[in-house]
A and B are shown apart, each in its own frame.
Chain A
Amino acid sequence: MSDVLLQVTDVSKAFGGVQANRDISLTVPQGGIVGLIGPNGSGKTTLFSSIVGYHPIDSGSIRFAGEEISKLQVAQIARRGLLRTFQQTRIYANMDCVKNMLISRSLRRAKLTEFFAPQSNPADRERALELLEFVGLYSKRLLMAGDLSFGQQKLLELAMALMNGPRMLMLDEPTAGINPTLINGVIDRLKGANEQFGITLFVIEHNMRVIMNLAQQIYCLSHGQLLAAGTPDEVRNDPRVLDAYLGAQ
């Protein structure tokens, strides 16, 4: 078993009366691809938001690369190399794709003075164009990001995340809204990011075919609680998982 990169222990989070997450514990190994599934409203996005510091958790512990991060702020966590993408895709709509990429450059060891350097240096630019090519958006590079289609924005958001060079990337439904014929391409790119760039992935996905194909380990949430965990085959054949999905529909 490889090193644990992310360790979530007994995390709970309630919104008023809604217990969105209850005593959730899970781990993501360094270099792995882990899936997170569960019916709508089961608390997947909430767990992601808790991990990246978007809201304070009620109890529990979150450790990233050995460091407790549950009290840190969003940007601090991001600068440690733990990044998330949004279920509702977020890009900088009134900037072109290249600029979206340039500002997404890693800030891990950045000093404030670096902000007063020119917008693009040859190395950053090269990397930005490479990654746009990687997600198939090279020809759109000078379009305003807001003018891209929804699926293209999803791909741009992925490219921006890769530009940041995170140690771990948490993706909230990366294939939702993407044309089925392009989904295989997205899977390949995610695998590529994992293998070529060594980025650990933690992926929320509703598309079973995608997640079974991608992940080495899958956790399933239901009603805010961890229901099952295991390899894709184990989870697929777990009667409780089937129940949760069928019961929820």
Chain B
Amino acid sequence: MTGWTRYIGHIVLVAVGLAAPFLFPNHQSQMAELWLFIVFALTWDLLGGQMGYNSFGNVVFIGVGMYTCALVQVGLIYSISDYNAARGGGGTVFTFDYTQYLEGLAVGLPAGAITGALAAIILGNFVLGMRGQYFAICTLGLGVAAAEIANGWEWIGAGSGMTAPNAPAEIDDISRFYYFFAFVLAIVTFVAITWLLRTRFGLAVNAIRDDEDKAEAMGLPTKRIKVIAWTISGLFLGIAGGILGNVKRFIDPIDVAFSGSTIGVWMVLMAILGGKGTLWGPVIGAIVFQITKELFWTYLLGWQRVALGLMIVLIVVFFPEGILGWVRERFPQLFGRRVQSRAEEGR
């Protein structure tokens, strides 16, 4: 593939992304979620696929970003304890006018990015010293612990959760509004990771995946590289969390914010389904996964979770290399992966 043809995938993706909310106005929330899933899968794969560190704890950054964003949106205008205390139905109605609402997001989403990244730096310094399944299990614990903390913290609503601010009347189609936030974030994340994988940092991350001891013996600051990679994930996930909270409207600490058993596992599956360690794999995996999931939810009344579970097992057993992995094995040249040619052998 040469010239502009190599950008066909990008062009199609952006075109479909721009047109979709107008073509399928009834599915805007699901499509917004899809763009966020792409962010989840891409950032998961930066560690899981490119660096060989399987994290089940990335939901922490989503949840941290989600709460941060909502708290900032509210806190800029009202007292957070009053707001959260009133959710059983107090006397006050908390309204946000257009400017207040936009300002809340303008501060809240970057704040989510910052706390997401900070959480990754702090946690990464503790757990990224571990390797292999020890790291994986530890991250699983992080997700559970974060959910429990949020579940018990009165100020942020504890077990009864927190509601994202009501949108002002000026925003007539709130689903479409957040669809475009999610769309832009996914594009930015994709571009950032594309760039990152082309830097020396990308090489270092791959080197850690292939042989961390060797990377260290060659002088690479492996721990720092690992923490930076997770921080980059945390940053994008923090913003994604902020958007997701507003898409979902209601932030439950266990089922929405730190949902290890749904989103936490799904992001891993999306990356595996599409092809771990490839740039497009997570994107393709997220699209296939979200469409299948929504079809299950629509047509398999009562059995959707069983079907999803079955699909997860089938993916892992029969498709461990994922869609792109499968294609790559059959057409290695498409991926710049050379196989030896006869002509070269004589050299």
**Chain A residues proximal to chain B, CB less than 8 Å:** 52, 54, 74-75, 78-79, 83-84, 86, 90-96, 99, 102-104, 106-108, 112, 114-119, 138-140, 142-144, 147, 160, 164
Contact = CB atoms under 8 A, between A and B. Distances in A.
Interface string B222-238: 10110000000000000
Interface stretch (B131-139, B165-173, B197-205): B197-205
A119 B338 contact: no
A57 to B, nearest CB: 17
Contact of A118 (B199, B211, B217): B199
Contact of B201 (A94, A96, A106, A116): A116
29 contacts: A54-B217, A74-B216, A75-B216, A75-B220, A78-B217, A78-B219, A90-B211, A90-B213, A91-B211, A92-B206, A93-B210, A94-B210, A95-B203, A96-B337, A102-B200, A103-B204, A103-B215, A104-B218, A114-B200, A115-B204, A116-B201, A117-B199, A119-B199, A119-B200, A139-B344, A140-B344, A143-B340, A144-B338, A164-B219
Contacts of A83: 217-219
Contacts of A114: 200
A164 B219 CA distance: 9
Given A116-B199, A118-B198, A93 B222 contact: no
What's the dominant secondary structure at chain B's contact region? helix
A53 to B, nearest CB: 9
Interface string B94-119: 00000000000000000000000000
Contact of A119 (B203, B209, B218): B203
A143 B218 contact: no
Chain B, interface size category, equals: 20 to 34
B214 interface: yes
Contacts of B217: 52, 54, 74-75, 78, 83-84, 86, 90
A108 B218 CA distance: 10
A119 B198 CA distance: 6
Interface in B173-207: 198-204, 206-207
B210 A95 contact: yes
In the complex, the 5 A-B pairs of residues with the closest C-beta atoms, listed nearest first? A78-B219, A139-B347, A92-B210, A142-B338, A90-B214
Nearest to B197: A119
Contacts of A79: 219
B152 interface: no
Contacts of B338: 96, 142-144
A103 B345 CA distance: 26
